[in-house]
Amino acid sequence: MAKKKVPAMNTSSTADIAFLLLCYFLMTTTMGSQTGLSRRLPPMPDKDQKVEDQKVNRRNIIVVKINSSDRLLAGSEPIDVSQLKDKIKEFLTNPADNPNLPEKEIQEIDLIGNWPVSKGVISLQNDRGTSYQAYIAVQNELVKAVNELRDDCAKQKFGKKFALLDEDQQAAVKKAVPQNISEAEPKDVGKKR
């Protein structure tokens, strides 16, 4: 029985085939993870709901307005985007217990203990003519201010940055430094052609 030797199959073209497949996937798919600023919209008020004045103390609100030429107004004075973060941080921490800045309530939070939680709310109002870029820039500054305060709190209590904490600790810090950004009902102020 003379065994016939089977000739080796020529496999040099499999690489080409695989390359073709590879190119196909490169063309038709997208990489790039989605990133962005996450927000929760307030639910629509019911029509038959009685208009109830939510009594929020005046000192607890800072109104950030953006007009149609992308200028900023924080509280009552015009401000630049670069100054907004510090302004918000000062507003939320109220280090000198200024009676014009938001009150703080000592709350007991798991893992942290007693912590003065600010009652401050940031109210963001924009015009229909505001550019999206300016709007995102302001949103970004607001988030940055809150994130920095969270980092401070995390460092003080756990000795680590907020991002390095575990889930329970993060939840505790989030409770201590809430992100209260309210997007007001739209208003039409200055027209932009």
Where along the sequence are the contacts to other proteins (CB under 8 A)? 11-12, 14-15, 17-19, 21-22, 25-26, 28-31, 33-44, 126-133, 135-137, 139-140, 143-144, 147, 183, 186, 192
Residue 69 or 98: the one with the smaller Cβ distance to other proteins is: 69
Q: Give 2's DSSP letter.
A: P
Residue 7 or 43: the one with the smaller Cβ distance to other proteins is: 43
CB 79 within 8 Å of CB 67: no
Q: Work out how close the CB of 1 gets to other proteins at its nearest, in angstroms, rounded to a whole number.
A: 30
Q: Work out how close the CB of 68 gets to other proteins at its nearest, in angstroms, rounded to a whole number.
A: 8
Q: Work out how close the CB of 96 gets to other proteins at its nearest, in angstroms, rounded to a whole number.
A: 27
Q: Work out how close the CB of 113 gets to other proteins at its nearest, in angstroms, rounded to a whole number.
A: 28
Residue 101 or 149: the one with the smaller Cβ distance to other proteins is: 149
Instruction: Look at the chain and count its residues.
Output: 193
Residue 101 or 122: the one with the smaller Cβ distance to other proteins is: 122
Q: Which long-range contacts (CB under 8 A, 24 or more apart) does 151-155 make?
A: 153/112, 153/115, 153/177
Residue 18 or 110: the one with the smaller Cβ distance to other proteins is: 18
Q: Work out how close the CB of 25 gets to other proteins at its nearest, in angstroms, rounded to a whole number.
A: 5
CB 109 within 8 Å of CB 174: no
Joined together, the tokens standing for residue 96 give 């000198």
Q: Helices 132-158 and 167-176 meet at what angle, rounded to 10?
A: 110
CB 169 within 8 Å of CB 177: no
Q: Helices 81-93 and 132-158 meet at what angle, rounded to 10?
A: 40
Joined together, the tokens standing for residue 190 give 């200055």
